[in-house]
């Protein structure tokens, strides 16, 4: 066989080169669907966190006796879906970015990167893999400037809202980057008004 330059090549060489060209032209489609991106708050002295799905625009609201909180957490979970791969991927890299701080909520900073292994039964040139990351306290991260007092409300009986805390999730499967998913949530802390009451019995009686 003679190629375009007049050079004689074997059938095997031609097939190998054509296979390489076809692989280079393959369009890889990678879709990432987040089933749930959870934002939560734990109040000092309590064991039950308040949770909200921030990707559905739900916000976090919590009542605190003294207006203070101990942490604000994000814990992404969901499903990575891919198709059009030439070889089956074995893992996916998830990168979580969060608003840098109260003064710069529009700038997100990387705070967590996790490699998720794709289960053998899910591996293939097309497939999907679920994931669930551990909660990350954004008020206790060296990369961020958030502190607990940014969210706390010090005035008794009043509320404080911090809006537009952004979370971004970047996904890489093999050498292919998925779209960047961004969500935001608001945090409202209600400082429960102080109150007091008394109850008792007069213990009245009479005698002769």
The CATH number covering residue 175 comes to: 2.60.40
The predicted structure's pLDDT at residue 3: 45
Mean pLDDT of 81-97: 87
Could you tell me if residue 203 is inside a domain?
Answer: no
The predicted structure's pLDDT at residue 67: 85
The predicted structure's pLDDT at residue 58: 60
The predicted structure's pLDDT at residue 179: 66
Could you tell me if residue 12 is inside a domain?
Answer: no
Could you tell me if residue 8 is inside a domain?
Answer: no
The predicted structure's pLDDT at residue 14: 43
d(CA 62, CA 84): 45
Could you tell me if residue 143 is inside a domain?
Answer: yes
Could you tell me if residue 107 is inside a domain?
Answer: yes
Please state the domain count of the chain.
1
* Residues 185, 165 contacting (CB under 8 angstroms): yes
Segment 23-67, tens digit of pLDDT: 332 222 333 334 333 334 444 433 332 222 234 336 788 888 888
Task: Give the global pTM.
Answer: 0.68
Residue 171: band (very low, low, confident or very high) from pLDDT cuts 50, 70, 90: confident
Which range of residues forms the domain containing residue 122? 28-191
Cβ neighbours, 10 Å, residue 45:
10
Query: DSSP letter at 125?
Result: S
Segment 124-162, tens digit of pLDDT: 988 888 888 888 888 889 999 999 899 888 998 999 999
Could you tell me if residue 93 is inside a domain?
Answer: yes
Could you tell me if residue 129 is inside a domain?
Answer: yes
Q: Does the structure show a pLDDT above 50 at 81?
A: yes
Could you tell me if residue 111 is inside a domain?
Answer: yes
The C-alpha angle 141, 143, 149, rounded to 5 degrees, equals 50
């Amino acid at each position: 066989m003679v190629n375009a330059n007049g050079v004689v090549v074997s059938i095997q060489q031609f097939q190998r080169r054509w296979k390489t060209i076809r692989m280079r032209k393959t369009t890889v489609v990678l879709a990432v669907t987040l089933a749930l991106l959870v934002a939560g708050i734990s109040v000092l002295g309590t064991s039950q966190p308040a949770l909200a799905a921030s990707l559905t625009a739900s916000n976090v609201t919590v009542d605190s006796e003294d207006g203070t909180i101990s942490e604000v957490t994000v814990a992404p979970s969901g499903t990575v879906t891919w198709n059009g791969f030439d070889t089956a991927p074995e893992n996916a890299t998830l990168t979580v970015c969060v608003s840098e701080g109260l003064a710069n909520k529009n700038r997100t900073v990387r705070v967590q990167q996790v490699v998720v292994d794709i289960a053998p039964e899910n591996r293939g040139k097309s497939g999907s893999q679920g994931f669930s990351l551990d909660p990350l306290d954004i008020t206790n991260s060296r990369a961020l400037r958030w502190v607990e007092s940014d969210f706390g409300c010090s005035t008794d009986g009043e509320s404080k809202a911090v809006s537009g805390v952004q979370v971004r999730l970047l996904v890489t499967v093999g050498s292919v980057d998925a779209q960047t998913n961004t969500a935001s949530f608001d945090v409202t802390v209600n400082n429960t008004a102080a109150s007091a009451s008394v109850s008792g019995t007069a213990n009245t009686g009479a005698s002769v």
